[in-house]
């Protein structure tokens, strides 16, 4: 559908404005009459289901009405323009039959209870709920608990603790994808979704966008320290620092946890 393609809508609007500027000039309006393009713009303004396109078409018709020839064309299609005492159009054009312009076809509203999950989607959800790693499994359970009004505060606190003590868990592309599936098929407020995404390292999303990830990517050096902690097998750089830089690494980690805490407070306040 046209409504699902914002890029195409933007191009159509650009074309409409171009036609309107041509029609606003006395030498350009005759070209519009030859191509019957004004008739199509009138139809868009009166009956198109996308309201933003209707608005663009309305203002474009106003531009066309600024020329005498364009005003005559619009008059033939049932649109009038407000003019001065000297007959000069002010660039505002409205249809003679306002019911056409202000009418809108009702749409069929689909409630949440009417949405049916397919068997394939159910299998995808079940696969996202389980993980062989104990820490990952606990993270997935806590993410689901974020949608529970009773358990969400405890889940937030435990997720922050895992982030602080076992931060390597949030560097896995595979776990990130499973969490995204849970966020897609469960109801979460926007601040809560942001909190979950902020738990993961920024480079995880970069790996997915750049398509550098693979199904076998896992964090190595779990529970270790130094240069091997936080390294991913496929394409991730070693994050560990030397002993001389260990204090700086801890400071950066504390800053990250502090930022997560601020996002967590926002999520908690939004759920109240």
Tell me the CA distances in angstroms from 101 to 37, 45, 80, one per residue in order. Answer: 18, 7, 13
pLDDT at 265: 63
pLDDT at 238: 38
| SS3 state of residue 241 | coil
User: Which of 173, 237, 169 lies closest to 204 in space, CA to CA?
Assistant: 173
pLDDT at 270: 55
* CA pair distance 206, 173, nearest whole angstrom: 10
φ, ψ of residue 80 to 5 degrees: the values are -115, 155
pLDDT at 136: 93
| SS3 state of residue 225 | coil
User: Which of 11, 32, 36 lies closest to 21 in space, CA to CA?
Assistant: 32
Residue ranges per domain, the chain? 6-102, 116-210
Cβ proximity of 142 and 159 under 8 Å: yes
Q: What counts of helices (H) and strands (E) characterise the chain? A: 13, 4
| SS3 state of residue 219 | strand
Q: What is the pTM of this model?
A: 0.47
- Can you say whether residue 52 is alpha, beta or left, with left for phi > 0 and alpha for psi between -120 and 50 degrees? alpha
* CA pair distance 229, 237, nearest whole angstrom: 10
Per-10-residue mean pLDDT of the chain, 272 residues long, equals 74 92 85 84 88 90 86 85 76 81 72 73 89 93 88 90 89 91 86 89 84 50 40 42 46 52 61 52
pLDDT at 15: 92
């Amino acid at each position: 559908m046209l409504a699902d393609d914002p890029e195409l809508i933007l191009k159509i609007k650009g074309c409409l404005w171009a036609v309107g500027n041509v029609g606003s000039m006395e030498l350009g309006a005759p070209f519009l009459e030859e191509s019957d393009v004004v008739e199509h713009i009138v139809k868009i303004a009166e009956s198109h289901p996308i309201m933003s396109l209707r608005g663009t078409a309305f203002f474009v018709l106003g531009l066309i009405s600024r020329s005498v020839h364009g005003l005559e064309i619009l008059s033939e299609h049932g649109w009038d323009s407000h003019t001065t005492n000297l007959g000069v159009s002010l660039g505002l054009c409205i249809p003679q039959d306002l019911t056409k312009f202000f009418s809108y076809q009702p749409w069929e509203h689909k409630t949440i209870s009417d949405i049916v999950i397919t068997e394939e989607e159910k299998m995808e959800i079940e696969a996202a709920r389980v993980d062989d790693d104990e820490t990952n499994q606990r993270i997935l359970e806590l993410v689901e608990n974020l949608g529970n009004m009773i358990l969400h505060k405890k889940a937030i606190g435990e997720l922050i603790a895992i982030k602080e003590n076992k931060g390597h868990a949030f560097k896995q592309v595979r776990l990130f994808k499973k969490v995204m599936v849970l966020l897609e098929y469960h109801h979460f407020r926007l601040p809560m979704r942001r909190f979950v995404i902020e738990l993961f390292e920024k480079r995880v999303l970069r790996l997915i966008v750049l398509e550098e990830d693979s199904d076998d990517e896992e964090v190595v050096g779990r529970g270790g320290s130094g240069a091997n902690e936080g390294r991913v097998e496929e394409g991730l750089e070693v994050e560990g620092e030397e002993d001389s830089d260990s204090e700086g690494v801890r400071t950066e980690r504390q800053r990250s946890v502090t930022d997560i805490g601020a996002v967590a407070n926002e999520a908690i306040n939004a759920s109240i």
